Structure 1
Amino acid sequence: MAGESTRRNQNFYCQYHQDHGHTTENCRNLWNYLDQLVREGKLRHLLHHPSGHQGQAHQEPPRDIALRPPVGMINVILAALGRTGICPSRVLSVAQWPAKESQPKSKRAKMNFHPILSFSEEDKIGTIQPHDDVLLITLRIGDYDVKKVMVDGGSGAEVMYPNLYKGLRLKPEDLMPYNSPLMSFGGKLVIPKGMIRLPIQTGPEIMEVNFIVADTYSPYTAIIGRPWLHTLGAVASSLHQKVKLPSGDQVLEIRGCQSTARQSAEEAKCEDLEEVVIGGDPEKFFRVGAQLPLQEKEELIEFLKRNIDVFARDAYDAPGIDLAFICHHLNVNPSITPKK
């Protein structure tokens, strides 16, 4: 939003920009973004097509859209500081695809019936107990089924990482600015690359969510937090490895993958490495643990400097060694002509 914030009208607030100066309804950037989504056909299910005859039903979107196969599958905990409790700033809209069969129900039944979300011992069937595994699920983000999405009820923001951003075929210019830093598990501040709004489909529910793109290592592809859970009215249980959410008069379940969670936990144990250049050539470096205590790191670097002459990066760094030691041969008969 251009201009100094002190000169804007403080009586008007825009949830899209999260700033004062104009109302959300009069936000030109928001209307331009919605127009773009309409042109791309992403809001077809929300459009109403008026007809010339009163009472004539408008044309419904094809019912098989929600069941279309994904474009592909992507296999690749943070909390935002500030602005973490405002769902409208991260959730633009929630839409629902038309059900396969519509059965008439009384208004009273619709108003009074609320599915109960609960977990019992039966929900533990198929899981390894006891455990302390995180909850990893597969979600349809955009046009792709994305694996290794962590559900974290303690996170006040949805986060995605660069590998997933590239896997979704998104471009750097698609990012919106986002300046609030994030805090990693290691206690480091991470400056986000930006923010992007993408649709998440859960059963018949389609929800637009703001993802903060963090340029840091993570064993997960993305993190889904409270804004997504609360907007859908969903409840997650890592103990039962499930997410339950209401959908009409039914309860939908998303089952987590416990084996993937354990594999990701092992990956997370791998320590971050940093490059240490010893000598004048920046292309010749060693990788040491970034979390090593300072004294141990200095002793290790000093040891490498004293013994730099014993390290060989290619055959030319080790003259005098018999070629039979460093060369290998294929176990084939030279008298036989190779065939394709």
Structure 2
Amino acid sequence: MEINDMKELKWPVRMRSPPESRDMNTYCEFHRDHGHTTKNCKALQREIEALIKKGLLSSYIGDSNSGRKQYARQYALAFRMPHGKLEDITVGTRDLEGVSLPHDDALVISAIVANFEVKRILVDNRSTANIISQEAFTKIGISSQHLKAVKTPLQGFGGGVITPEGVIELPLTLGSG
């Protein structure tokens, strides 16, 4: 499903076996037909191998930091919903009230996420992922069934590897509208 929009992907011709001889309890997303599962689709496996050999799926193979970051960016872009006019968010001198200068403190904000106020959000421009804790996710009241599976491991704050529970797109409100 992650590569179905690639223009280099060659979709298969219709399945040749008669429909009445196929297993109607299985479905292949690649063939868009019944008869076998997507996981067991030999034509899809051959097509993926061809795309790998062409170097078009390099972000999905190997175990490098740059590969994982590229995969995360592609995933984020693929599921980004079109929004209206986007405006820059800037932090100016008026926002420095109570801050001793010079400083290298992290930027921590509050925002409305999915109609729920989330406090202590760490803003990190270098991060390739926006992470919400399980505790905050539970308090927002969204079922984990809404999460989409993701296979990209993340390096945790302490240096360990963390496997996310999944990804979800949530509405976000910053400022007073």
- Indicate which of 190, 193, 196 corresponds to 2:165: 193
Match for 1:188: what amino acid?
G
2: CA distance, partners of 1:169 / 1:185: 25
Query: Which 4+ stretches in 1 moved above 4 angstroms?
Result: 7-11, 115-123
Per the alignment, residue 132 of structure 1 pairs with 104
Q: TM-score, normalised by structure 2?
A: 0.54
What residue number does 2:18 align with?
none
Aligned twin of 2:27: none
Residue type at the aligned position of 1:140: I
Out of 68, 72, 85, the position equivalent to 1:81 is 68
Q: Letter of the 1:6 partner, please give it.
A: Q
After superposition, the Cα gap between the structure-2 partners of 1:128 and 1:90, relative to the gap in structure 1 and judged at 3 Å, is: farther
Q: Which has the higher contact order (CA 8 A, sep 6+)?
A: 1
Matched residues in 1 for 2:73 and 2:88: separation?
25
Q: Does 1:93 align with 2:82?
A: yes
- What is the CA deviation profile of residues 1-59 of structure 1, one whole-angstrom value per residue up to 9, with x for unaligned ones? 43444355989xxxxxxx9xxxxxxxxxxxxxxxxxxxxxxxxxxxxxxxxxxxxxxxx
Amino acid at match of 1:81: R
> Using a 3 Å threshold, how does the CA distance of structure 1 residues 135 and 120 change in structure 2: closer, same or farther?
closer
Note the residue ranges of structure 1 that are not aligned, 5 or more in a row.
12-18, 20-78, 97-114, 206-340
Residues 80, 156 of structure 1: 8 Å contact kept: no
Q: Which has the larger radius of gyration?
A: 1
Q: Name the counterpart of 1:6.
A: 45
**Partner amino acid for 1:89?**
A
Instruction: Tell me how far 1:144 sits from its aligned partner.
Output: 0.7
The correspondence of residues 264-283 of structure 1 with structure 2, limited to 5 A, is: none
TM-score by length of 1: 0.30
Structure 2 unaligned regions, length at least 5: 2-37, 52-59, 61-65
Structure 1 pair 149/179, CA: closer, same or farther in 2 (3 Å)?
A: same
Task: Report the alpha carbon displacement of residue 132 of structure 1 after superposing the two structures with TM.
Answer: 2.7
What is the aligned-residue identity percentage? 23
**Bigger strand share:** 1
How far apart are the structure 2 equivalents of 1:183 and 1:142?
26
Seen in structure 2, the aligned counterparts of structure 1 residues 121 and 135 have a Cα distance that, compared at 3 Å, is closer
Say if 1:80 and 1:145 are closer, same or farther in 2 by CA, change over 3 A. farther
**Superposition pairs for residues 40-55 of structure 1, below 5 Å?**
none
Could you tell me how far apart the structure 1 residues matched to 2:140 and 2:116 are? Answer: 7
Check conservation: 1:142, 1:199, Cα contact below 8 A: yes
Counterpart code for 1:139: A
Inter-partner Cα distance in structure 2 for 1:172 and 1:116: 31
Q: Report the count of equivalent residues.
A: 123
Return the alpha-carbon distance in structure 2 between the equivalents of residues 160 and 201 of structure 1: 15
